[in-house]
Amino acid sequence: MDLKSHKADFPIFKNLPGLVYLDSTATSLKPRFTTDKLMEYYTQYSANVFRGVYKISEKATEEYEETRKVVAEFINAKRIEEVIFTRSTTESLNLVAYSMGRKIINEGDEVVTSVMEHHSNFVTWQQLALENGATFKVIDVTDEGYLNLGLDSGQVIIPLGTGMTLNLDNIITKKTKILALTYLSNVLGTINPLKEIIQAAKKINPKLIVVIDAAQAIPHMKVDVQDLGADFLSFSSHKMLGPTGVGVLWGKYELLDEMFPFNYGGEMIQEVYIDKTIFKHPPHKFEAGTPHIAGVIALKEAVRYLERIGMDKIRQHEKEMVDYTLKKFQITFGKKIRVLGPKEVKDRGGIVSFTFGNYHAHDIAQILDEENICIRAGHHCAMPLHQRLGISASARASFYLYNSFEDVDKLVRGLKKVENTLK
């Protein structure tokens, strides 16, 4: 992969030449195509969408709806109307819990998620279950960092892409109304074999609603929502080179159409009377109020940029980055570094979370920052997972298309400084 030319597309590296950015899991950096497009909207046609019968409003609307089409094609949605713009992955997940969850969850039902979830895909379902008297079930992880879809024999690891048939009788029942899972863990890096899981789960209960948190998957690998077989899938613009403040919810049209609206207000109504309101159909039913117009418009430039480079190339690059990092860690620090998550590079995304001796993650991150190396330290919005792993915090380095082996070398040198300072 020709890194130099990609790195040149990110103005931040011109402004901060020594920057080693290893926190793309938190948010990605922005290429000039994204920022140029934001500026284009604000300087050339900064009108509201849908309402105006004048040229610049029509232009803004056209650009806004064009992003819907580009995103729909990017994830292979069946219909453009299945793409809804929200504020974030978090809001997308909450939208499903509120508009679908409230409609279908009753006392005695089951809501299932896993212990490797980000809080947004954990607390949302935990609270939905608590509020409605449903049972909240949490799938465990194995010590290796895979979902523990244990059969009678205990731990079962499902290698990716094997098309293996699963038995989920111990997890999914006829009472399970919602299964919410991450595609790619933001701590362990584990890529879950979703297609196999969804097939097996829906075999037990065909009415089961499957909600996927794809915030860490969409920016880094090819995702095909029709092939996966899920019902809802959420992700964020800012993690995939787009602007902050925009999230996407994809959902099957028939489900979206029958759900409760999320926010009431302008733009989501067809007709309003004193005694009743008729709502619009998806997607506008879920997009009340003036949206983040510039953000949505600029998101498509991020998607087009990713497509020009190629998702398979990005995935391959990140695999090489992780492979290099794991080897470097092993050679330099041996057992002093404990890497969380699967050992197999093919089963994980571009994320390496670790503990280092008995040094606290915040000290590690702070000393690395003295060398202009940005990593994340803490529980990464996954407290249940850290409790499960028996640690209070971890350090996390994560990669994207603008990272190079040189960044890893600098990280390793930085970690040696951490060792020298704190030992």
Partner 1 sequence: MSIYQEIILEHYKNPHNFGTIKDPTKKTSVSNPLCGDEIEMEIVFKKNKVSEIMFKGQGCAISQASASILTDFASGKSKDDLKKLDKNFMTKLLGIELGPNRIKCALLPLEALHKLI
Contacts with partner 1, residue ranges (CB under 8 A): 360-363, 366-367, 370, 377-379, 383, 391-393, 421-422
Q: How far is the CB of 239 from partner 1 (least distance, A)?
A: 22
With respect to partner 1, which residue has the nearer C-beta, 280 or 360? Answer: 360
Distances (CA, A) of 299 to 30, 85, 321, 419: 11, 11, 26, 41
Q: How far is the CB of 261 from partner 1 (least distance, A)?
A: 35
Query: Are 407 and 13 within 8 A, CB to CB?
Result: no
Q: How far is the CB of 391 from partner 1 (least distance, A)?
A: 8
* Three-state secondary-structure class, residue 180: strand
With respect to partner 1, which residue has the nearer C-beta, 163 or 390? Answer: 390
* Catalytic choice (381, 391, 412, 422): 381
With respect to partner 1, which residue has the nearer C-beta, 40 or 363? Answer: 363
Q: How far is the CB of 170 from partner 1 (least distance, A)?
A: 31
With respect to partner 1, which residue has the nearer C-beta, 328 or 338? Answer: 338
Q: How far is the CB of 387 from partner 1 (least distance, A)?
A: 10
Residues 6+ away with beta carbon under 8 Å from 263? 286, 288, 289
374 as an active site residue: the answer is: no
With respect to partner 1, which residue has the nearer C-beta, 157 or 422? Answer: 422
Distances (CA, A) of 125 to 93, 96, 208, 211, 400: 9, 10, 14, 11, 30
Query: How far apart are the C-alpha atoms of 110 and 179, rounded to whole Å?
Result: 9
Query: How far apart are the C-alpha atoms of 354 and 26, rounded to whole Å?
Result: 16
**Buried b / exposed e along 396-422 (16+ C-beta atoms within 10 A):** bbbbbbbbbeebbebbbebbeebbeee
Residue 265 exposed, middle or buried by CB count within 10 Å (0-12, 13-18, 19+): exposed
Q: Would you name the residues annotated as active-site residues?
A: 381
